């Protein structure tokens, strides 16, 4: 699943590539995009309208678009009292903090895999219950998978409320996951490309999703003399927060990200080549 906690209805191409690549890799599973800006859908016709907003995704029968209502999502979880008290206007990182909460509540209720919208999928993740190491001894919350009502999700939501500090970037996200994981086991230092187990959760090697670390994010937007295979990676996190729009995909540039688009989201890549619209207005 993917989420958008702003009212934005014209996502950039990286978001569309993330969804298309997931739809291709997980062709036998629903791929859901929760969007705060999407109005409530009352029937099949409304769902068809939502699908047709994104022409490069409309042909995928396993892609679904649902409105994101935070109060509905948080109902029945430890996050609802927090949500009713917090003032989004005074929160420094509200877009990210609210997204941190939404992903936990949605995975608690429905299970499955959560991914940030700047993650390009390349091959299926074999694990059901997993966290992704961003580096040794530090967990990401940008991609993870848990079964419905898994205790880790609930513990994270409790910690979210008990240790809430919206002014500190990552306190409700990667730092939270790392705090809760440390309660379950001693987080190891990875020596090679191995994954490790922490109770009934797999803690996946940084190479699975983060072969290019955040400080080197610009490498995705450079031309490589020899393209990497990423043959031990399941997906790639492109560090959009670090990028902040500084670099974009240029069709035919032969940069690493240009090649990733060509390989993993070809419908979008072809639309960009033909200079076709990738988002229509909802009407």
Distance from C-alpha of 248 to C-alpha of 13, rounded to nearest angstrom? 9
The tokens 């890799």 sit on which residue? 25
> What was the pLDDT predicted at 141?
97
Q: Read off the pTM.
A: 0.95
The residue-averaged pLDDT of 8-21 equals: 95
Percentage of the chain exceeding pLDDT 90 = 82
The answer to which of 119-128, 141-150, 274-283 has the lowest mean pLDDT is: 274-283
* CA separation, residue 3 to residues 40, 180, 182, 269, 281 (Å): 15, 23, 27, 22, 19
For the chain, what is the mean pLDDT?
93
Burial tier of 39 (Cβ tally within 10 Å: 0-12, 13-18, 19+):
exposed
Tell me: pLDDT of 207 over 80: yes
Both tokens assigned to 66: 């649902």
213 contact partners, CB below 8 Å, separation of at least 6: 135, 206
* Average pLDDT rounded to a whole number, residues 146-165: 97
Average pLDDT over residues 121-131: 97
pLDDT(94) > 70: yes
pLDDT at 46 over 80: no
Does the pLDDT at position 277 exceed 80? yes
Domain boundaries, the chain: 2-273
Tell me which residue of 157, 126, 142 sits closest to 3, measured CA to CA.
142
CB 163 within 8 A of CB 171: yes
Q: Say which range, 46-50, 250-254, 264-268, has the weakest mean pLDDT.
A: 46-50
Confidence (pLDDT) at 42: 60
Architecture, CATH, for domain 2-273: Alpha-Beta Complex (3.90)
Of 174-178, 233-237, 244-248, where does mean pLDDT reach its minimum?
Answer: 244-248
pLDDT number for residue 278: 92
Position 87 pLDDT exceeds 90: yes
Residue 50 has pLDDT above 90, yes or no: no
Say if residue 99's pLDDT is above 80.
Answer: yes
Per-residue pLDDT tens over the stretch 180-204: 999 999 888 898 999 999 989 999 9
52-64 residue pLDDT tens: 899 999 999 999 9
Cα gap 28→144, rounded to integer Å: 19
What is the model's pLDDT at position 281? 78
Question: pLDDT grade, residue 283 (50/70/90)?
Answer: low
Query: What percentage of residues in the chain have a pLDDT greater than 70?
Result: 98
Main-chain dihedrals φ then ψ at residue 66, nearest 5 degrees: -125, 145
Q: What is the pLDDT of residue 282?
A: 67
Token digits for 156? 């994270």
101 membership: H or E segment, kind and range: helix 94-110
SS3 assignment, position 196? strand
Asked if residue 269 lies in contact with residue 251, where contact means CB atoms within 8 angstroms, the answer is yes
């Amino acid at each position: 699943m993917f989420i958008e906690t702003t009212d934005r209805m014209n996502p950039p191409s990286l978001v569309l590539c993330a969804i298309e690549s997931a739809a291709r890799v997980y062709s036998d599973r629903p791929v859901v995009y929760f969007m705060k800006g999407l109005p409530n859908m009352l029937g099949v016709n409304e769902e068809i309208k939502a699908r047709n907003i994104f022409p490069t995704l409309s042909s995928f029968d396993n892609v679904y678009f649902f409105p994101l209502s935070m109060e509905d999502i948080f109902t029945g979880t430890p996050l609802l009292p927090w949500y009713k008290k917090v003032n989004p206007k005074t929160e420094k990182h509200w877009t990210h903090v609210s997204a941190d909460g939404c992903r936990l509540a949605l995975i608690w209720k429905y299970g499955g895999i959560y991914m940030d919208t700047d993650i390009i999928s390349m091959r299926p993740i074999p694990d059901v219950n997993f966290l992704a190491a961003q580096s040794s001894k530090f967990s990401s919350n940008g991609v993870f998978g848990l079964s419905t009502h898994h205790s880790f999700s609930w513990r994270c939501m409790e910690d979210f409320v008990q240790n809430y500090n919206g002014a500190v970037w990552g306190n409700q996200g990667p730092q939270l996951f790392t705090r809760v994981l440390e309660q379950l086991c001693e987080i190891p230092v990875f020596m090679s490309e191995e994954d490790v187990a922490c109770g009934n959760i797999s803690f996946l090697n940084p190479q699975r999703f983060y072969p290019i670390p955040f400080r080197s994010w610009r490498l995705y937007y450079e031309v490589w003399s020899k393209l990497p295979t990423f043959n031990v990676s399941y997906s790639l996190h492109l560090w959009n927060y670090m990028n902040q729009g500084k670099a974009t995909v240029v069709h035919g540039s032969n940069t690493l990200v240009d090649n990733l688009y060509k390989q993993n989201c070809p419908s979008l890549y072809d639309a960009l080549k033909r200079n076709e619209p990738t988002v229509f207005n909802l009407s």
